[in-house]
A and B are shown apart, each in its own frame.
Chain A
Amino acid sequence: AQSVSQHNHHVILSEAASLELGCNYSYGGTVNLFWYVQYPGQHLQLLLKYFSGDPLVKGIKGFEAEFIKSKFSFNLRKPSVQWSDTAEYFCAVIMNSGGYQKVTFGTGTKLQVIP
């Protein structure tokens, strides 16, 4: 069974610090990878996605993620965080299983940015 691991449960950074959130998955087949963000009191929304092609994916608000197949990783990065980046971040893996999309989310990482 596929699984997704987010090892950082709670991260606290000062504004302008660089961010890297880890995401590792366990599935040997073709994967499609996503990062979602949940700002306080708001809907879960897509930050970025990887289906194929360039393993370095750029998303909204200056976020990017790199797919490293050999490491089964899809870490999220941002060079300089802002207070408005305070949110919970979820990594997700989707695979096609018997014609159905099987979705697995990580446990999430809460990011707190201190002004």
Chain B
Amino acid sequence: DAGVTQSPTHLIKTRGQQVTLRCSPKSGHDTVSWYQQALGQGPQFIFQYYEEEERQRGNFPDRFSGHQFPNYSSELNVNALLLGDSALYLCASSRVREANTGELFFGEGSRLTVL
């Protein structure tokens, strides 16, 4: 049973460019959350997707957008990249009917470097 998979694992972009990160949730999971983790910090919540809609959002600008597909996989898009967007981007999946458990399954992340 595959866990949460993310791609790419590493990428380098320049300021002003756009990036798309991808996530496949754990089998049987229907909810995907995205987190940003800067070096030396804990993960920060970006947004959560369920039934192909953004359900909750953290304190991130509109440059950060996402999408969820009918197969529950998800994309995170960041436009007009800034140096400060350099971070590890983590995807986490869960089942909405088990939301009360608070148990998330995380992927290993996509490390984005903006030059």
Co-complex (A, B): no
Taking Cβ atoms with an 8 Å cutoff, the residues of A that contact B are none
